[in-house]
Amino acid sequence: MPSVPLRLQVALCLCLAVGQVQAGVVISGTRQVYPQPRREITVQVTNDDRQAARLVQVWMDDGDTRLAAEHSDVPFSISPPVFRLDPGKSQAIRLAYTQQPLPADKESLFWLNVLEVPPEGQKPGVTTAEDSQNRLRFAFRIRTKVFFRPHGLAGNPQDAPGQLTWTLRTGKQAVLRVFNPSPFHVTFHEVALAMGPQAEAARILTDQQGMVAPYASLDLALPPLMQTVPEDAQVQFQYIDDFGGFSAPQRAPL
């Protein structure tokens, strides 16, 4: 029997270990919108594990995933920042804007981090200290977007996807560029090029996810060496709304 490379052995061991570990904490919503007039917003966190409690830490950042909670500097306070969440229980987290200056002409994007650490314990029937020491404990982190929406922005977020403009650059490094002229973020679930007017038209760019910021552009990669595109080609996309739902497929000209 041929020997298994060490790297593959390690990968298999990790897969087996992870397969027996499940995240117990869930957060309400895939995104949060903070309207500026609000004194605070609340986010519900629930421990879906019916057997074990979780220790939960919550903090916000401005997009740098490497920053630990103690080094994050954002204009929001969080209460409570650390708490124990018993099996099957929920906790409301309060986010409050501290009134530090933020752009008034567009949304600002922040990230809410929810870190859960399973408690130490033994499996049923396990009594040896050696087994307990050899067990792995995993910390799971959930990150969700928080859009700070200033009061009095022109237009509304529902109209922003229809205002996007698309341009195509073919060649060795072909890209599809989308420009967002609105003060709202637009998050994509899927972007594709549709060849022809029919709904079932061939698509050459699929499962491209991303987000275009206010007054900014986003480049999406196309297959290499794309030289020509039919004149009737259109962009087909789905976006994610304020509630985390997917829009119906939208069409836009190039």
pLDDT band at residue 171, thresholds of 50, 70 and 90?
confident
Helix (H) or strand (E) holding 234: strand 234-240
Q: pLDDT, tens digit, for every residue of 175-219?
A: 889 999 999 999 999 888 887 665 555 555 545 568 999 999 999
Beta-sheet pairing, 234-240 with 250-253: antiparallel
Average pLDDT over residues 66-76: 89
pLDDT for 185: 98
What's the whole-model pTM score? 0.81
What is the CB neighbour count within 10 angstroms for residue 4? 10
pLDDT given at position 121: 55
pLDDT digits (tens, 9 = 90+) for 2-25: 444 444 443 434 443 333 445 689
* Helix H or strand E segment including 131: helix 129-134
Average pLDDT over residues 148-161: 95
231-235's contacts with Cβ under 8 Å and 24+ in sequence apart are 232/195, 232/196, 232/197, 233/168, 233/193, 233/194, 233/195, 233/196, 234/193, 234/194, 234/197, 235/166, 235/176, 235/178, 235/191, 235/192, 235/193, 235/194
CA distances to 54, 87, 130, 140, 212 from 133, rounded to whole Å, are 19, 24, 5, 20, 46
Using a pLDDT cut of 90, give the percent of the chain over it.
54
pLDDT digits (tens, 9 = 90+) for 127-154: 445 444 555 556 789 999 999 999 999 9
